[in-house]
């Protein structure tokens, strides 16, 4: 399997989003595995700021040359920020998925909002299981 990067300080969803907690603000993006599987990202459909999402709810869409994929909220809360740079430069998701390629910030009701997500090891195993199946 290709060498994907899954930083240890992040939490992960089974739907290939990552979440980084800073107090009640959780920054969300897609993982190195997800961006690699999608290929060249050409369009990101962002949600409106202020929208309230349930955990697991589709909140946006990411498109590569060949594929269309929903983005799922890894945590419940309110979208308080979106990465508008992705409108002009969606390729930032490929180039720096854990940095400039972040997608939204979700404000959660309590600081345990990201509980139930996988840690880096758990997510790596999840990816390995799937790549073996394919």
Partner 1 sequence: MTPYKRTPLAAAHRALGARMVEFGGFEMPVQYTSILEEHAAVRERAGLFDVSHMGRIRVCGPRAEAAVERLVTCEVASLRPGAVRYGCLCNESGGTVDDVTVYRIATDDFFFCVNAANVEKDHRWIVEHVAGSGVSIENSSETSGLLALQGPAAEKLLQTQTTLALAGLRRFRFAEGRVDDRTVLVSRTGYTGSDGFEIYCGASDLEALWAGLLEAGAAFGLVPAGLGARDTLRLEAALPLYGHELDDETSPLEAGLDRFVKLDVGGFIGCEAIRARKAAGHVRALAGFILEDPGVARAGYVLSAGGRDVGVVTSGAPSPTLGRSIGLGWLPPALSAKDTAITVRVRARELRARVVETPFVRKVDRAGRAAGRN
Nearer to partner 1, 24 or 57 (CB): 57
Query: Considering only residues 40, 57, 81, 100, which one is a binding residue for partner 1 as defined by CB under 8 A?
Result: 40
Locate all alpha helices (DSSP H) within the chain, ordered by sequence: 32-38, 85-88, 92-95, 120-133
Q: Is 91 helix (H, G, I), strand (E, B) or coil?
A: coil
Told to check if 132 binds partner 1 by CB under 8 A, we report no
Query: Considering only residues 14, 42, 76, 120, which one is a binding residue for partner 1 as defined by CB under 8 A?
Result: 42
Told to check if 14 binds partner 1 by CB under 8 A, we report no
| Distance between CA atoms of residues 68 and 75, nearest Å | 22
Told to check if 57 binds partner 1 by CB under 8 A, we report no
Query: Considering only residues 1, 52, 65, 84, which one is a binding residue for partner 1 as defined by CB under 8 A?
Result: 65
Beta pairing, strands 52-53 & 58-64: unpaired
**67-86: contacts with partner 1 (CB under 8 A):** 68
Going by the DSSP 8-state scheme, the letter that residue 4 receives in this structure is -
């Amino acid at each position: 399997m290709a060498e994907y990067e899954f930083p240890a300080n992040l939490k992960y969803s089974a739907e290939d989003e990552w979440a980084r907690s800073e107090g009640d603000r959780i920054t969300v993006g897609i993982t190195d595995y997800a961006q690699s599987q999608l290929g060249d990202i050409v369009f990101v459909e962002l949600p409106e700021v202020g929208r309230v999402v349930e955990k697991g709810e589709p909140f946006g869409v990411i498109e590569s040359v060949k594929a269309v994929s929903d983005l799922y909220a890894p945590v419940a809360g309110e979208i308080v920020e979106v990465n508008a740079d992705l409108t002009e430069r969606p390729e930032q998701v490929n180039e720096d998925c854990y940095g400039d390629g972040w997608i939204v910030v979700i404000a959660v009701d309590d600081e345990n909002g990201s509980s139930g997500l996988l840690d880096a090891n758990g997510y790596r195993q999840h990816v390995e299981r799937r790549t073996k199946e394919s």
